[in-house]
Amino acid sequence: MLTRIILVLALSISLQAKINVVASITDLADIANQIGGKHVNTLSIARGSQDPHYVEVLPSYMIKVKRADMYLMVGMELDQWAEQIIDGSRNSDLKIVDCSENIIPLEIPTRKVDASMGDIHPNGNPHYWLDPENGKAIARTIARHLKEVDPQHTQEFDANLVNFIESIDKLENEWAEKFSNLQGRSLIYYHNTWPYFNRYFGLKAVAFIEPNPGIMPTPTHLDHLIHLIQGQNIQLIAMEPYFSGKAPTFLKNKTDIAVVGLAQSVNARKGTETYQKMLTYNLETLQKAFTP
């Protein structure tokens, strides 16, 4: 009996010793999990299949953050809702990490931003995790902060970071060989989620289903897209899981363009359980769609 109690106590102490990490999105949670290994418990506020721009501030999220040691924000004004969750958690010991701190942003507006431009982010496009090189930068940021919180396990965090970067390096070589035919391909996206992904893999976004970021498609805009698809022989529309399929289906019926679903985040779709799998899934999906 005494042995059992000691075992339970020891187990509870070892559980308590883990760093509790809450992340705004599943990608940051997964990278933290790969870097922290057995020394972290991770969870994400937004589900992989959820639009990270629009997350309702639920009191239950505050309880999750109340128990956390570290909060991983996307930053660049994507997850502004996180501020309210953090405030509501009343966790004065929480370490807040902005994972965009070592990212070179794309698409920083060159003129004054206002609502006529739609849901524009003044500090640049915030979907930076979709470039594998940025994935490495995120991992370095997370590793550095984990070491500050738990210096005892510095060596393990460093080793896990090396493993993570090597796994991406290895995949980058494989992707370069296997998906080289995607270079220069043009497609239409639903939302402007993919500039970092496009830059790395050599794809080109010719238009978006949304007339402006965050704005639902209008009949005029869809008519413009029909002319664009027919005029430039665009073959593919790619969309995230949380958008309505109505407008893409309408365009498909009018022009025979193919529509595929991509995963903008870990666990957005089946087969995207890790950061590496998510990137591979998107490349495989695009290649399959572009292959006649």
Partner 1 sequence: MRPKYFLLLFVFIGSLQAQTSVNPDISVIGELGMSHFDDETTLNASSVEIAIEGYVNPYARADVYLHKHMDGHPIELEEAVLSIERGLPFGLALRAGKFRPEFGGINKQHLHLFPHIILPVPVAQILGDHKWSSSGLEAKWLLPFPWYNNLSVAFLQDGISAEAHSHDEEEEEETEEETGKAFSSRYSMFFDLGDVSHLEIGLSYYQLVDEGDENISAVDFKYKWLPNKYRSLVWQNELLRKSPSIHTEEGEVEEHHEIITAYSMLNYKFNKVWNVGAIVDYSSDMEEAMYHSEGLFLGFSPVEETTVFRVFLKQAHHGDHNPGLLVQAQLLWSLGPHKAHKF
Closest to partner 1 by CB, 66 or 277: 66
Closest to partner 1 by CB, 81 or 164: 81
Per-position DSSP letters for 207-272, written without gaps between them: EESSSSTT----HHHHHHHHHHHHHHT--EEEE-TTS-SHHHHHHHHHH--EEEE--SSTTSSTT-
**Which helix (DSSP H) or strand (DSSP E) does residue 240 occupy?**
none
**Which helix (DSSP H) or strand (DSSP E) does residue 246 occupy?**
helix 246-255
The Cα-based distances of 227 to 223, 232, 233, 239, 249 in angstroms read: 7, 8, 10, 20, 16
Q: For residues 152 and 155, what is the distance between their CA atoms, to the nearest angstrom? A: 8
Structure tokens belonging to residue 106: 């794309």
What's the order of all strands across the beta sheet hosting 258-261? Answer: 204-208, 186-189, 236-239, 258-261
Closest to partner 1 by CB, 82 or 187: 82
Contact residues for partner 1 (CB under 8 A)? 47, 50-51, 54-60, 62-63, 66, 80-81, 84, 86-90, 92, 115, 119, 214-216, 242, 244
Closest to partner 1 by CB, 263 or 279: 263
Closest to partner 1 by CB, 96 or 182: 96
Question: CB of 233 within 8 A of CB of 256?
Answer: no
Please report how close the Cβ of residue 201 comes to partner 1 at its closest, in angstroms: 28
Closest to partner 1 by CB, 132 or 248: 248
Sign of CA dihedral 57, 196, 94, 157: positive
Q: For residues 159 and 285, what is the distance between their CA atoms, to the nearest angstrom? A: 32
Question: Among residues 43, 34, 44, 41, which one has the least CA distance to residue 15?
Answer: 41
Q: Please give the single-letter amino acid code of residue 245.
A: G
Please report how close the Cβ of residue 2 comes to partner 1 at its closest, in angstroms: 28
Structure tokens belonging to residue 172: 């980058």
Closest to partner 1 by CB, 51 or 284: 51
